[in-house]
Structure 1
């Protein structure tokens, strides 16, 4: 008999196994049949079949392979649907697009006001589709090989500024007033804003990763990026919130030993978004990453050490951490204040 905690540990492996099994629907075919099905799907602009083909190729041949994150797969699937919608509207031949077609699509997305980051993800998704079509032998086209997407030269804080400490506190206060999820939402907000976890890391946090001893309170974080793990100190407020949440009775909504019941960031956002709207924050909810940036920005202001902040946040490249703060402005302010 498999105990519930063992079942939870198997969840990610089951998902990976399912992805591998789905890939077999394509690898089990003869090369001629694979090419026929891929060609037919491209002619029909069939989003489900073309996504199935792309997922199979990503699972078998992408750098992360079967470890490709669910978030990446979800983003790519949406990107491929957007590409196919555009190709249908413009009456493109999927198997014979031109570089001008691709560049016109990019220009149209930018003209519509799509964020450069969104355009980049959609282009990456469409490029993955064509790698899969070439793998299936349906085309030899490389339409995205020379595609140009402008660089976003805005500072990271302009694209998505971190919440201030006051804004976080207002949201936490709104969470504390929630009629049924107060402890849960308060704990989630502080895991993101005080420990700086990515939302995917927070949703995969287990109670065995939480150490609440007052002298060494910390979280052991299993990162989906590079499959690294790191230890993050827990603030007194976070420790108190997790302690209060931990003693609550478990419900069927909870996923075994996972701390939070949400399976996806969308599920979590559905409950977190109203907290910021209730707090009447300008612009409302700006996403979970603004909470992570709040932690990184606040920590840098206290430490003045990018390497230390990068280690806590799990950044492989310290330049990523630099996008969390405006060093020049802060240093100039301190210098000018002393004049």
Structure 2
């Protein structure tokens, strides 16, 4: 592994191979473990520690402090610690460590960050375009689909042509944990997809290409390309904030919950295994509801007397 001393990288490579072959983890999961543990290995090399068995719980605490100084939040540090604990379980099994130094170390708490969303008018501004270029036709179809069905970046990039049922207005996607779900596709997205499907045959390199969205080379469009094309699209359409795939997914969830109030339905649409993950959107929705309440409910405002002796209303937040 690049820049990691050989005596540290060997065990790390074996661990990643173990995750891939024995535990059957996805390539992306293995990549995350490798990246996080490679960062630890580089830190060890800086401190001239040459063996994984030399690492102590005191060292782990210092490493956590380093991650915090580098700007990582509580959740990111918790992910790093989880990777270290898992790695040392493997090292103990292989006789390459005497204990698990991260076993009782906990990440610092961080405040719960609410996901950023775009309002309906902003989304309309971005998506109400009429492209002629085939690449822009493809991009609009991708963005409409992501907002219409709340797809993750990996889900839209991995979607196959056969997963889309235009007549039923549905798409079948493979989510986290290889769980499949069928989602409705809105009329605007269906219209954009229809225009893209008319352009797609001229772009595919072979008749055997299964990807719904392909690049100029005729192969499956990568996640990185979708990210960069969405950011570019936002700039061209004059968006007031940087556009990224999860912004469309967050906006879908927030707008659906605001309109329906059905948390369970939004959970199913998003593919969340735990409803607690979906509940973050209730906080966003409550902010909107609180403003409406303050403005509309007759008992949300109390009456005060101004200097002239006339009654005046004061908002709930002023109580």
Query: What is the match of residue 45 of structure 2?
Result: 88
Q: Check conservation: 1:76, 1:121, Cα contact below 8 A.
A: no
1:299-334 Cα deviation digits (max 9, x unpaired) = 001100101111111112111111124243233233
Aligned to 2:116: 161
Structure 2 match to 1:218: 170
Cα distance in 2 for partners of 1:163, 1:204 equals 25
For 1:264 and 1:119, the matched residues in 2 are separated by: 28
The equivalent residue for 2:7 is 44
4+ residue stretches of structure 1 with deviation over 6 A? none
Task: Answer yes or no: is 1:256 the counterpart of 2:214.
Answer: no
Give the equivalent residue in structure 2 for 1:75.
32
Q: Which residue of 2 aligns with 1:29?
A: none
Q: Equivalent residue for 2:297?
A: 338
In 2, distance between residues paired with 1:314 and 1:297? 15
Alpha-carbon distance in structure 1 between the residues aligned to 2:68 and 2:206? 41
Residue 58 of structure 1 corresponds to: 19
SS of the residue corresponding to residue 197 of structure 1 reads: coil
Cα distance change of structure 1 residues 149 and 239 upon mapping to structure 2, 3 Å threshold:
same
Equivalent position of 1:13 in the other structure:
none
What is the deviation of 1:207? 1.7
Cα deviations by residue, 1:41-98 (Å, 9 ceiling, x for unpaired): 987222xx3442122222355xxx21x2332222222112211111111223422211
What TM-score comes out, normalization by structure 2 length? 0.79
2:85 equivalent among 114, 120, 127: 127
RMSD in angstroms over aligned alpha carbons? 2.6
Instruction: State the distance in 2 between where 1:110 and 1:254 align.
Output: 50
Matched, 1:234 2:185: yes
- TM-score, structure 1 length as denominator? 0.75
Q: Choose 275-284 or 184-193, whichever is displaced more.
A: 275-284
| Cα deviation digits, residues 135-164 of structure 1 (max 9, x gap) | 322113201111211233324x2xx31233
Q: Which residue of structure 2 lines up, in the alignment, with residue 26 of structure 1?
A: none
Question: Do residues 99 (structure 1) and 62 (structure 2) align?
Answer: no
Contact conserved, 2:52 with 2:96, CA < 8 A, in 1? no
SS at match of 1:152: coil
**Alignment equivalent of 1:147, drawn from 105, 109, 124:** 105
Aligned to 2:160: 206
**Structure 1, unaligned stretches of length 5 or more?**
1-40
Bigger Cα Rg: 2
Q: Are the equivalent residues in 1 in contact too, given 2:52–2:97 (CA < 8 A)?
A: no
Tell me if structure 2 keeps the 8 A contact 1:254–1:260. Answer: no
Q: Which residue of 2 aligns with 1:318?
A: 275
Query: Do 1:300 and 1:309's aligned partners in 2 also have CA atoms closer than 8 Å?
Result: yes
The whole-number CA distance in structure 1 between the counterparts of 2:5 and 2:86 is 14
Unaligned runs of 5+ in 2: 215-219, 299-319
Q: State the number of aligned residues.
A: 285
Higher relative contact order (CA 8 A, sep 6+): 1
Instruction: Indicate how the Cα distance of structure 1 residues 171 and 338 shifts in structure 2: closer, same or farther if over 3 A, else same.
Output: same
Whichever structure has more helix as a proportion of its residues is 1
The verdict on how the C-alpha distance between 1:126 and 1:255 changes in structure 2, with shifts beyond 3 A counting, is: farther
